[in-house]
Amino acid sequence: MTSQKPYEEIAVVTGAAGGMGQFIVRQLHESGRKVYLADIDVDKAQALALELSPDGSTARAIYLDVSLRQSFVDALDKIVAEWGTPSVLVNNAAITRAADLMTLGEEEFNQVLTTNVDSIFFGCQVFGGAMADQGYGRIINMASLAGQNGGTATGGHYAASKGAIMTTTKIFARELADRGVTVNSISPGPHDLPVVHQTVPAEKLSGIISGIPVQQLGNPAFIAKTVTLLADEDAAFVTGACWDINGGLYLR
């Protein structure tokens, strides 16, 4: 049967070469979508793209510096020229750092806050606008428990940026809703990922886990499945939402 969709299932994942990004990319690709792996580390992204699609027919890497609006514009132009307008954008890229709150410097604060928030804002603005023009799109923004509870192992700059991401999600959800584009966020707690093991000293990790009501780290593969669910065509009635996946650490 010939598809009647007026768009092609093309997904773009930022920070695709990172730990969580790789899980998301694999799940979206497995779901039958073409996937663009967007990352500043384009060589690492390319290695994964070649693993998924040796001939480049269903997975490709693309350079994207999420701190720059023009980089989103350039990436979108290239994707549209090669495959067409994306139907899914996962804003996953972020800087994750721990820092002492009261001695946190201006330069580091601005780098983390600006990069993390700009990546979501301009991703929604640039790609969301293109999706709205085609009348369909699904945007999923990666927030964090740190943006809801003020952060624990991560720095105040990271927590502040993730709180802003949830607000930005609502702003664009309202703006794009009547043009077929949904915008949602996912707020993970600590998951079994390299960034968690790098951020939390090994001697403190068991204490972190014992403080999680379900007594374990989250499974990033489930985050990827949640992304794919929100990216589904049938998810049209979910927009402006934040899906909490935190093991019971934050309840509302």
Residues contacting 244, CB < 8 A, separation 6+ = 145, 148, 187, 250, 252
User: What's residue 2's pLDDT?
Assistant: 41
CA distance 213 to 189: 11
Structural domain includes residue 159: yes
Bridge partners of 188? 245
Q: Would you say residue 251 lies in a domain?
A: no
Residue 3 within a domain: no
Predicted confidence at residue 1, as pLDDT, reads 36
Per-residue pLDDT at 125: 98
pLDDT (tens, 9 = 90+) of the chain, 252 residues, equals 344 566 779 999 999 999 999 999 999 999 999 999 999 999 999 999 999 999 999 999 999 999 999 999 999 999 999 999 999 999 999 998 888 888 989 999 999 999 999 999 999 999 999 999 999 999 999 999 989 998 777 788 999 999 999 999 999 999 999 999 999 999 999 899 887 787 777 787 888 899 999 999 999 999 999 999 999 999 999 999 999 999 999 998
Choose among 217, 224, 214, 222: nearest CA to 191. Answer: 217
Range of the domain at 132: 10-245
Look up the pTM and report it.
Answer: 0.94
- Asked, for residue 5, whether it belongs to a domain, the answer is no
- Residue 24 to residue 13: CA distance in whole angstroms: 8
For the chain, what is the domain count? 1
- pLDDT value at position 202? 78
For residue 63, the SS3 value is: strand
- 207 within some domain: yes
Q: Where residue 191 sits, what CATH number does that domain have?
A: 3.40.50.720
- By annotation, the residues acting in catalysis are 158
21: left (phi over 0), alpha (psi -120 to 50) or beta: alpha
- pLDDT computed for residue 73 by the predictor: 98
